[in-house]
Amino acid sequence: MEIFRELAASDEHPDAETVYQRVVKRVPAVSRDTVYRTLASLEDQGLIRRTAVLGGPARYDANTKRHHHFVCTKCGSVKDFHSEALDDLSIPRSVKAFGRIGSAHVQVRGVCSACIGPRARPR
């Protein structure tokens, strides 16, 4: 339960190691194995989602409602955003030929405003 609470309280999309480091402070007896198994179980139950980030470990998100992600290619931060236009994208036939589509989301990559710095932020 503490592992789910950690994810639900965070908008940072932490990886498994970060979840472990935070939870072990409150529950010293928790093991890494327990965290990894619990994350897998929560994902299997549809209570959390795993997000792949190019060049990094999988990240976890307790927000299971439809949304998309902005991923900073410099610091690796992941931010949620909503877009009806992206929600309405149709899956191409060529992709449907691969198999049954369960879900789709868009991952936009770029450099976040924190990494750009205050002088270079778009107006």
E strands in 20-77: 49-51, 59-61, 68-72
More confident residue, 121 or 61: 61
User: Per residue in 16-26, pLDDT tens?
Assistant: 999 999 999 99
Domains observed in the chain: 1-62 (1.10.10.10), 65-123 (3.30.1490.190)
Could you count the other beta carbons within 10 Å of the beta carbon of residue 100? 5
The secondary structure of residue 120, as a DSSP letter, is T
pLDDT recorded at residue 32:
97
User: Per residue in 63-107, pLDDT tens?
Assistant: 999 899 999 999 889 999 999 998 888 888 898 889 998 878 889
Cα 33–Cα 39–Cα 43 angle in degrees, nearest 5: 145
Query: How sure is the predictor about 122, in pLDDT bands with cuts at 50, 70 and 90?
Result: low
Between the CA of residue 80 and those of 66, 92, 98, 102, what are the distances in Å?
Answer: 10, 24, 27, 20
- Which amino acid belongs to residue 17? E
**Tokens 């936009």 label which residue?**
108
pLDDT recorded at residue 52:
85
% of the chain with per-residue pLDDT over 70: 96
CA-based nearest residue to 18, from 5, 34, 35, 1: 35
CA-based nearest residue to 53, from 89, 18, 6: 18
Q: Which helix (H) or strand (E) holds 108?
A: strand 107-110
Question: What average pLDDT does the chain have?
Answer: 90
Q: What is the pTM (predicted TM-score) of this model?
A: 0.79
Residue 15 has pLDDT above 90, yes or no: yes
